[in-house]
Amino acid sequence: MNIDDYRASERTFQILTQVAGRAGRGEKNGEVIVQTYNPDNFSIQCAKDQDYDAFYESEIILRKSLKYPPFCDIIMFNITANNEEEIKKSAQYIYSRLVKNAGDKILVYKPMPAPISKIKNKYRWRIITKCKFNNSIIDIINKSLEEYYKTKRLKATITVDLNPTNMA
């Protein structure tokens, strides 16, 4: 429920309604008990009331105002490197290329460490962008990555994920 992902409320609602739907099948009545520190959470309240419409209406307004899918696409640049200085330089460089090449076509957030900032002795950073994905966006991404790899002095690895299923 409190993870760094725009779908956290939806997942909470989905899991709780799914679990509740399994209780009381057949001839026996069922009871669902949810233990939480946040009983007033909107997702929990809607799941408790089995109010799909209220949950949807609230969630879709929030997503529209925050420019989340389905109203725009999220493109995440995942950057990994062996040392902290290298990842900072690489992240800043790719960020500057994206900002320069995108103009106002892409909303580019500043680079930051990933929620799990180090795995197997590799540092992890990310750059999150929001836009409507199309061929012009592909061109901007390709140009930015080409400029990055042409430097040959920066040693980080960059992967690009469109509408990632995991924001960690």
d(CA 158, CA 161): 10
Looking at residue 152, its pLDDT comes to 80
pLDDT digits (tens, 9 = 90+) for 83-140: 999 999 999 999 999 999 998 999 999 999 999 999 999 999 999 999 999 999 999 9
Q: What is the pLDDT of residues 37-95, one digit of tens each?
A: 999 999 999 999 999 999 999 999 999 999 999 999 999 999 999 999 999 999 999 99
pLDDT of residue 22: 83
The answer to whether 61 touches 71, Cβ cutoff 8 Å, is: no
Residue 139's alpha-carbon distances to 64, 88, 166, in angstroms, are: 26, 24, 25
The per-residue pLDDT of the chain, averaged, comes to: 92
Residue 35's Cβ-count burial label (10 Å; 0-12, 13-18, 19+) is: exposed
Mean pLDDT of 135-163: 92
Please, what CATH class does the domain formed by 73-162 belong to? alpha beta
Q: Which of 68, 61, 83, 82 is nearest to 132 (CA)?
A: 68
Full-model pTM: 0.82
Instruction: Tell how many helices (H) and how many strands (E) occur in the chain.
Output: 5, 5
Q: Which amino acid is at 32?
A: V
From-to residues of CATH 3.30.70.360 in the chain: 73-162
Q: Which pLDDT does position 153 carry in this prediction? A: 80
pLDDT for residue 73: 96
pLDDT of residue 125: 97
Structure-token match 């790899």, residue found: 149
How much is the CA Rg of the chain, to the nearest whole Å? 20
DSSP symbol at 126 = E
Number of other CB atoms surrounding residue 25 within 10 Å: 9
